[in-house]
């Protein structure tokens, strides 16, 4: 893991130390509180934003964030570029490194961002891959601090597919000294290697990592409940099979009754209301999902300042 002042990329949250994560979140708070103080942080910087997956929050928050920091966003679609016709990624990033100062990419295979980081000479930001979603979890941790006062020792239960969200929550929660519980059917458990990585980090931070299959047990005394869609982008053909497999894993009012009294509900959005979460929960008093969505902007601005700011 790298220390904060040597941060080169954001491919996974393992790029950060616990101290570096704290510094980044403190910067995000400062950016949110006094945005005008940072409006020239990226003056003259050009940031390419490449989307191979559809996007709402990532697209808007990064584009607006670059502009608010005084930089220039270059928004690209994979279908519009030569990589869509077979140009090697290594060639593409070598060229882009001569045009822009950083690249944020939202894509499928995690190997894509690793290849870009290996062959380019500019910072690479993982806006989402099938394995990790680090920028989302930076916003999540910022939201947790705002609503609960701290991260250390908090109990976070994620209910759903052991996907990129589960993986980044494991790493981010472990770095924060949190107790992270991932609750999913056995066939949809998170990547074992990432679970082990998170467990190792947690040993040093006082955190804890646990896997559950019973949602009621998993949310006992939880202060944060987190949900995501059962079928992510690219898994549409599995939707019916997954809905059946995840029966009983819906976050609803009854399930919240088993958690801590002041529990907060998080969701990375978009939500499939009536599937993984009820409208009653996502619109209810425990939900902070729209604060969470807003915090994508502030956390990512802080990240870009660390990677690119003078």
pLDDT in tens, 65-86: 999 999 999 999 988 888 777 8
Write b or e for each residue in 179-217: b if 16 or more Cβ atoms lie within 10 A of its Cβ, otherwise e.
bbbbbbbeebbbbeebbebbbebbeebebbbbbbeebee
Q: pLDDT at residue 3 above 70?
A: no
Cis status, amide bond into 284, omega within 30 of 0: no
Q: What share of the chain has pLDDT > 90, as a percent?
A: 91
**pLDDT for the residue 1:** 35
Provide the annotated active-site residues: 106, 133, 136, 228, 268, 296
Taking alpha carbons only, the member of 292, 274, 164, 171 closest to residue 225 is 292
pTM: 0.96
Taking alpha carbons only, the member of 1, 3, 2, 10 closest to residue 302 is 10
* DSSP H stretches of helix in 176-288: 192-205, 215-218, 239-245, 253-256, 279-282
Taking alpha carbons only, the member of 101, 31, 91 closest to residue 61 is 31
pLDDT in tens, 91-115: 999 999 999 999 999 999 999 999 9
Residues forming a β-bridge with 75: 49
């Amino acid at each position: 893991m790298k220390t904060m002042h040597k941060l080169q990329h954001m491919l996974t949250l393992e790029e950060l130390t616990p101290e570096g994560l704290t510094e980044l979140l403190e910067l995000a708070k400062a950016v949110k509180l006094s945005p005008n103080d940072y409006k020239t942080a990226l003056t003259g910087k050009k940031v390419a934003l490449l989307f191979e997956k559809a996007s709402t929050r990532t697209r808007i928050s990064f584009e607006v964030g670059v502009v608010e920091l005084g930089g220039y966003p270059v928004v690209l679609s994979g279908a519009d570029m030569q990589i869509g016709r077979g140009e090697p990624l290594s060639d593409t990033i070598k060229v882009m490194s001569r045009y822009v100062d950083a690249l944020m990419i939202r894509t499928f295979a995690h190997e894509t961002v690793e290849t870009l980081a290996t062959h380019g000479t500019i910072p690479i930001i993982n806006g989402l891959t099938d394995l990790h979603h680090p920028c989302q979890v930076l916003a999540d941790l910022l939201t947790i601090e705002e609503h609960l006062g701290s991260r250390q020792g908090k109990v976070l239960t994620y209910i759903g597919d052991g996907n990129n969200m589960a993986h980044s929550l494991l790493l981010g929660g472990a770095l924060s000294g949190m107790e992270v519980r991932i609750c999913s059917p056995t066939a949809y458990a998170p990547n074992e290697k990432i679970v082990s990585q998170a467990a190792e980090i947690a040993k040093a931070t006082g955190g804890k990592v646990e896997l559950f299959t019973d949602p009621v047990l998993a949310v006992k005394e939880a202060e944060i409940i987190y949900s995501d869609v059962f079928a992510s982008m690219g898994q549409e053909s599995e939707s019916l099979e997954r809905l059946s497999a995840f029966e009983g894993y819906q976050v609803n009012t009854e399930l919240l009754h088993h958690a801590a009294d002041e529990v907060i509900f998080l969701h990375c959005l978009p939500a499939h209301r009536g599937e993984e979460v009820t409208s009653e929960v996502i619109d209810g008093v425990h939900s902070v999902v729209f604060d969470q969505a807003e915090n994508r902007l502030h956390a990512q601005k802080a990240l870009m300042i660390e990677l690119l700011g003078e």
